[in-house]
């Protein structure tokens, strides 16, 4: 019974160690070669089940059932061999002439095994049971084990060869080592057929593959994913910087001219859709900027622009402010500022008038409102506001002249 007990323990260990491969999709999401490996593992488990059953049935001399189980044993053994060669060739990405020969040889061995097992039913060439229930291996069993050893050894050498070509990929060396391990245990099984030596080989081999191939592939994939996420984060940050440069005015920190055009497109779309908008446009223009630049320098001119912008932002704090020219700003009043537009414009006008007395920043302004029944686009509102701004600019200049006199 120890034979069956060991095989059963191996099944439990393989299923526990490879639970994520059998059940979860974690590996499938990050590794493209897991499918062939899962097929190989499933075949190994089925093979071990037949191996487990064989020990029990043979122990209790259930010859008929043991015969059926032995047939299944050799079928699954040859299937495991084929799926192993398939996995190795696909994993190594060596579907060239040598890889194809190894994989097709595994498939041929599986097909021939099935045919010979059918023949064995009529003429024992694989195995037989004596009348008293003793298992007797025949010549074709030895041939199958020999083919198994040759193919495991060939796949091992192929893995070592590819590993050397591809800068000694150590995972390929692990695959080659597992193939060599299965070769050794296959040779041992050839001479000692009553011990579960193949089972021991599969136990060690699948453990090595899971720990040093699949887990390492998963870690490497996670590292690649981490680098990709870091790269995307860096790209996003660069994009944000670019967007900020494009949409934010560098001098004043308010919205740029580009941002203004985009905002205008949005408003025009909403006007076209008859959304019943309520908004007002205020056009601002700083007086005397050219004179300040000429007489005091551009640094003073920049400060003058920033002071004018600060004045606008402080009063119209809940509206988007756009710098659309050197000394020109636009505010689009909606919501709270739109409802309080009369109060805000009076406050702003009073502050500007005070500044004319103390030689502070002077900002001409003009406001007009969107009229649903009248305006087909934003530009119509802007033009009326712009016209009013120039009228206010003229009045402020006249007041300045009057004060100078």
In the predicted model, is pLDDT for residue 398 greater than 90? no
**What pLDDT sits at residue 28?**
56
**What pLDDT sits at residue 55?**
83
| Whole-number Cα distances in Å, 272 to 328, 345, 376 | 27, 28, 7
SS3 66: helix
**What pLDDT sits at residue 2?**
62
Tens of pLDDT, residue by residue over 250-293, are 899 999 999 999 999 999 999 998 888 899 999 999 998 988 99
Chain position carrying tokens 């622009």 = 305
Tens of pLDDT, residue by residue over 314-336, are 999 999 999 999 899 999 999 99
pTM listed for this prediction: 0.61
Helix (H) or strand (E) segment spanning residue 137: strand 135-137
Phi then psi for residue 333, to 5 deg, are -90, 125
Average pLDDT over residues 117-142: 91
CA-based radius of gyration for the chain = 42
Name the fold adopted by 257-404.
Answer: Alpha-Beta Plaits (3.30.70)
Average pLDDT over residues 144-148: 90
**What pLDDT sits at residue 7?**
78
Q: Which residues pair with 255 in a beta bridge?
A: 248, 322
In the predicted model, is pLDDT for residue 306 greater than 60? yes
CA 372, distance to chain mean position in Å, is 48
Average pLDDT over residues 31-50: 86
In the predicted model, is pLDDT for residue 401 greater than 80? no
**Which part of the chain is CATH 1.20.1070?**
2-224
Pairing label, strands 363-369, 127-129 = unpaired
Helix (H) or strand (E) segment spanning residue 359: none
User: The tokens of 190 are what?
Assistant: 């050839």
How does residue 27 score in pLDDT terms, banded at 50, 70 and 90? low
Tens of pLDDT, residue by residue over 96-106, are 788 899 999 99
CA separation for the pair 357, 353 (Å, rounded) = 7
HSE, CB side, 13 Å, CA atoms: give it for residue 353.
9
**What pLDDT sits at residue 22?**
78
CA separation for the pair 259, 263 (Å, rounded) = 6
CA 323, distance to chain mean position in Å, is 40
In the predicted model, is pLDDT for residue 1 greater than 70? no
In the predicted model, is pLDDT for residue 215 greater than 70? yes
Nearest Cα residue to 46 out of 20, 2, 78: 78
**What pLDDT sits at residue 25?**
65
Nearest Cα residue to 85 out of 147, 130, 136, 131: 147
Contact 50/240 with Cβ under 8 angstroms? no
Residues of the chain above pLDDT 90, percent: 54
**What pLDDT sits at residue 315?**
95
Chain position carrying tokens 């579907």 = 95
Task: Return the DSSP state at 96.
Answer: S
CA separation for the pair 210, 206 (Å, rounded) = 6
Q: How far apart are the first and last CA of the chain?
A: 120
Residues of the chain above pLDDT 70, percent: 93
How does residue 85 score in pLDDT terms, banded at 50, 70 and 90? very high
Q: Which range, of 23-37, 141-155, 344-358, 368-382, averages the lowest pLDDT?
A: 23-37
Average pLDDT over the chain, rounded to an integer: 88
User: What CATH number has the domain spanning 2-224?
Assistant: 1.20.1070
Q: Which sign, positive or negative, has the C-alpha torsion 190, 195, 196, 201? A: negative
Tens of pLDDT, residue by residue over 162-201, are 988 876 578 899 999 999 999 999 888 878 766 778 888 8
**Which part of the chain is CATH 3.30.70.270?**
257-404
Nearest Cα residue to 14 out of 48, 50, 56, 39: 48
Helix (H) or strand (E) segment spanning residue 129: strand 127-129
């Amino acid at each position: 019974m120890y034979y069956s007990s060991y095989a059963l323990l191996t099944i439990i260990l393989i299923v526990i160690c490879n639970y994520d491969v059998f059940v979860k999709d974690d590996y499938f999401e990050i590794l493209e070669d897991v499918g062939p490996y899962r097929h190989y593992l499933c075949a190994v488990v089925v093979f071990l089940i037949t191996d487990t059953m064989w020990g029990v049935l043979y122990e209790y001399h259930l010859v008929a059932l043991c015969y059926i189980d032995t047939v299944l044993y050799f079928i699954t053994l040859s299937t495991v061999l084929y799926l192993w060669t398939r996995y190795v060739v696909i994993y190594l990405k060596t579907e060239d002439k040598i890889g194809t020969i190894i994989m097709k040889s595994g498939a041929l061995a599986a097909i021939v095994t099935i045919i010979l097992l059918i023949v064995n039913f009529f003429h024992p060439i694989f195995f037989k049971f004596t009348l008293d229930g003793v298992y007797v291996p025949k010549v074709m069993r030895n041939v199958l084990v020999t083919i198994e050893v040759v193919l495991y050894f060939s796949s091992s050498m192929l893995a070592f060869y590819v590993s050397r070509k591809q800068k000694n990929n150590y995972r390929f060396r692990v695959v080659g080592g597992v193939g060599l391990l299965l070769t050794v245990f296959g040779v041992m099984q050839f001479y000692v057929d009553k011990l579960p030596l193949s089972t021991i080989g599969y136990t060690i081999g699948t453990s090595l593959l899971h720990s040093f191939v699949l887990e390492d592939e998963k870690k490497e994939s996670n590292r690649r994913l981490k680098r990709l996420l870091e790269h995307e984060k860096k790209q996003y940050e660069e994009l944000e910087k670019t967007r900020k440069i494009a949409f934010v005015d560098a001098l004043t920190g308010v919205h740029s001219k580009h941002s203004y055009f985009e905002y205008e497109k949005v408003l025009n779309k909403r006007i076209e859709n008859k959304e019943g908008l309520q908004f007002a446009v205020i056009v601002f223009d700083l007086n005397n900027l050219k004179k300040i630049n000429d007489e005091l320098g551009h640094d003073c001119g920049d400060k003058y622009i920033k002071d004018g912008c600060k004045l606008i932002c402080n009063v119209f704090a809940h509206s988007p402010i756009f710098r659309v020219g050197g000394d020109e700003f636009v505010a689009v009043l909606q919501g709270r500022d739109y409802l309080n537009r009369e109060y805000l414009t009076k406050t702003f006008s009073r502050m500007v008038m005070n500044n004319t007395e103390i030689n502070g920043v002077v900002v001409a302004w003009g406001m007009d409102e969107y009229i649903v029944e009248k305006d087909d686009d934003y530009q119509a509102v802007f033009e009326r506001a712009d016209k009013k701004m120039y009228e206010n600019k003229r009045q402020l200049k006249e007041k300045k002249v009057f004060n100078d006199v």
